[in-house]
Every structure is written in structure tokens, then in C-alpha cells.
Amino acid sequence: MEILERRIREDGKVLPGGVLIVDSFLNHQMDAALFLDMAKEWYRVYHDKQVNQILTIEASGIGLACMAGQIFGCPVLFARKQKTRNMSGEYFTSEVKSFTHGTVSSIYVSKKYLHPENRVLIIDDFLANGAALDGLISLVEQAGAAVVGAGIAIEKTFQPGGDLIRAKGYHVESLARIQSMGDDGSIEFC
């Protein structure tokens, strides 16, 4: 997606170790107008797939997912990284290993909001090793619901997540696909 790639080139910052900082428009400060365009692009891809629910994970997926919910006209659910008193009832849960933070954590969604008749589009900001996306797919499948596919903002194709998840037969649509990032700060898109 041209405007997203341009934005990454202009405002993204490459740190050593394959870290891309996009906190000026994606995952700390957020550009809602850009998010809306991104949601429209996912709609172009998935509009005929009877999507009736969007699923994401807190925190930085939520803004993108809400825009998708607006465009698809369906509810948005976000997986929580902690059980809270404000979530009632029973949960589906799965484990997510964060390569960024070096931790393994559990994620939760209430069983009240994932049902076998749901056709779920998973939205997230990054796809690298695929741990978060794997965890979200597991939640949907525990509920007996269908994973229609995934809409990702930025995929790092030099990390294995996208290939692994596509090899299992899931449709993953990433709006910007980064092939390599150089120590000089350069970014190559696929």
C-alpha cells in the first residue's frame, strides 16, 4: 500500500536488531485518517468474505481494528493481556511469546463474545515471528469460529511468521511488506 510505505520511509526509524520504530503514526501516536485508509484496503480484500467480527490484541491493534469495525460494520473484540475485574465470565486463552520483550504471556477473550457462527478477521499492527497472530488464531478456533484471514499493517518478511501462517492455509494480507532493513536506516519493501 503506497501511502503506508511512503509514511514508513518518511517517518519510520530503523534501530539495530531489526527493530522498526513507527511510534509517530502507528503504535504510540496514531494517524486516524491513515488508519481509515488502511481499513478500506482490508475491506477491498475481504469485503465478500462475510466477515462479522474483527479481533485484535491490545494495545496498538485497537485503533486499526476499530477503523476496520467501522468499515466492515461489525463488532470489534480485543484480546486482553490480563484478566480484569471488568471482564465477566469465562475465557478462551492462549500463550504468546514476545520476541520484542523476551516474555511469554497469556491472552484472553471472554467466551461470551466468540461464537461458532462468527467469521473473524484478525487485525494487528505488526507481523514478524507470528506469535501474536498464532495466539489470536487459536482463540478463534477454540470457539469453533472461522478465521477469514488477517489484516496486518506491517509485515517483516525477513522474519518467519508470515510464511509459517500462510503455510497453514490462512490468508494474510499485509499492507506494507518489509524485505530488509539496513544498519544505515534503509528499508526495502517487497
Where do contacts with a second copy occur on this chain (CB under 8 A)? 13, 15, 19, 21, 23-25, 27-33, 35-36, 58-59, 62-63, 65-67, 69-70, 73, 75-78, 80, 84-88, 100-101, 109-110, 112-113
Phi, psi of 149 (to 5 degrees): 165, -170
The CA distance from 71 to 153, in Å, is 16
Spatial separation of the C-alpha atoms in residues 4 and 105, rounded to whole Å: 30
Supply the minimum distance, in Å, between the C-beta of residue 121 and a second copy: 13
* Closest distance to a second copy from the beta carbon of 24 (Å): 7
Cell of 38: 488502511
- Give the nearer residue to a second copy in terms of CB position, either 93 or 110: 110
In whole angstroms, how close is the CB of 147 to a second copy at the nearest point? Answer: 18
Q: Which of residues 138 and 169 has its CB atom nearest to a second copy in the complex? A: 138
Grid cell 480484569 in the structure block, residue: 84
Q: How far is the CB of 170 from a second copy (least distance, A)?
A: 23
Q: Report how far residue 160's alpha carbon sits from residue 38's, in angstroms, rounded to the nearest whole number.
A: 23
Helix (H) or strand (E) holding 175: strand 172-181
Closer residue to a second copy in complex, CB, 72/174: 72
Q: Which is nearer to a second copy, 13 or 168 (CB)?
A: 13
Nearest to 114 by CA among 148, 141, 149: 141
